A = this chain, B = another copy of it.
Amino acid sequence: MAPHAHPTDPSDMPLGPRQRALLAVLQAADAELSGQELHERLKQASQRHGLATVYRNLRLLQRSGLVRCRKLTNGESVYAPLERDDHHLTCVSCGHSEPLPICPVATGGLGLTKVLLQGFKPLFHTFEIHGLCRSCQQSEPLAHG
């Protein structure tokens, strides 16, 4: 299967200028960015976007299959371009989360050796597939949750 089907089909969404700006910042970033950070960076780039707009467009980008999102233990959501296929090691105690350079789905099994874990003591893992459920594929992308 193709894990990252090109999103050129969702609903022929043309991507507004604000959304392109958002995507550009995410692509330029070397790490996942939170909504607040994104808002901050746009402000610094003299691209004033309201916070509401940032979140709104982030949601649309997500539905268009261009952006992925993950929730940190502190409640913040962090975003990255879809093509970045990062996975993580997250501490249930301090919440620290660091990238894990292995994708068990892509590698077809796992090459998680003790070497990679480097002292990290795994307790459990979460695997989730995010996408569009059948009914949301039919409804307009404007429908709110």
Contacts and interface: CB of A to CB of B under 8 A. Distances in A.
Interface in A76-114: 82, 85, 87-97, 100, 103-105, 108-110, 112
A4 interface: yes
Given A120-B131, A123-B65, A130-B122, A145 B73 contact: yes
- Number of this chain's copies in the assembly equals 2
A15 interface: no
Contacts of A14: none
Given A75-B75, A119-B134, A134-B118, A90 B129 contact: yes
A-side interface size class: 35 or more
Interface stretch (A33-41, A48-56, A135-143): A135-143
Q: Top 10 nearest A-B pairs by Cβ distance? A: A93-B136, A119-B134, A108-B109, A91-B133, A122-B131, A71-B71, A87-B127, A123-B131, A68-B124, A65-B123
Interface of A: 1, 3-5, 7, 62-63, 65, 68-71, 73-75, 82, 85, 87-97, 100, 103-105, 108-110, 112, 117-137, 139, 141, 143, 145
